[in-house]
């Protein structure tokens, strides 16, 4: 496989606001986080997969104390999103006040977005749909 997805490309896609998931060529299962092999069948025959960018909020946490790289950005949300296509991904959650987590409702529909951090890096993020 010459076109096998790499973590570098995965991150570059996010930087370019063109997030893609992974698909196992052998069994068709989808993965939204970088992995060298399929969670379902163990195959390492992985290719890129386009996703709709739609999903729902499964869980979230507010980060108050972050590594140096993100310290300036606190507080912020990190959420687990289940994509409509099935796989789950960890991403920032936008559109809510990080000081009012009681206003965030689990299960709400969310849509893919991106956030440019103070570090200049672009992060995968989701916002209410
Ligand atoms: Zn597989």
CATH code assigned at 20: 2.20.28
Q: Clarify whether residues 99 and 70 are in a common domain.
A: yes
Same domain, 58 and 28: no
Domain around 88: 54-128
What's the CATH number where 89 sits? Answer: 2.40.50.840
Phi first, then psi: what are they for 8, rounded to 5°?
-60, -45
Domain assignment of residue 23, yes or no:
yes
Q: What pLDDT, on a 0 to 100 scale, did the predictor assign at position 2?
A: 47
Q: How far away, in angstroms, is 50 Cα from ligand 1 center?
A: 17
Residue 45 domain flag? yes
Q: Kindly give, in sequence order, each residue whose CB lies less than 8 Å from that of residue 50, ignoring residues fewer than 6 positions away.
A: 20, 21
Number of domains in the chain: 2
Domain co-membership, 58 together with 114: yes
**How many Å apart are CA 65 and CA 75, to the nearest integer?**
8
The predicted pLDDT at position 3 comes to 67
Considering the domain architecture, whether residues 19 and 72 belong to the same structural domain is answered as no
Q: Which residues of the chain have pLDDT under 70?
A: 1-3
Residues whose beta carbons lie less than 5 angstroms from ion ligand 1: 24, 26-27, 29, 38, 40-41, 43
Burial classification of residue 52, based on how many CB atoms lie within 10 Å of its CB (0-12 exposed, 13-18 middle, 19 or more buried): exposed
Of the CA atoms within 13 Å of residue 33, those in its CB half-sphere come to 9
CA distances from 71 to 51, 64, 65, 92, 110 (A): 31, 8, 7, 15, 26
């Amino acid at each position: 496989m010459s076109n096998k997805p790499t973590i570098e490309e995965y991150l570059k896609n996010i930087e370019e606001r063109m997030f893609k998931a992974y698909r196992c060529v052998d069994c068709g299962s989808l993965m939204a986080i970088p992995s060298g092999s399929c969670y379902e069948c163990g195959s390492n025959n992985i290719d890129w997969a386009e996703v709709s960018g739609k999903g729902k909020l499964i869980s979230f946490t507010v980060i108050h104390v972050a590594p140096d790289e993100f310290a300036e950005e606190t507080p912020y949300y990190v959420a687990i999103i289940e994509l409509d296509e099935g796989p789950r991904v960890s991403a920032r959650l936008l559109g809510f006040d990080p000081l009012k987590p009681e206003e965030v409702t689990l299960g709400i529909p969310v849509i893919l977005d991106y956030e440019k951090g103070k570090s200049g890096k672009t992060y995968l993020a989701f916002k209410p749909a």
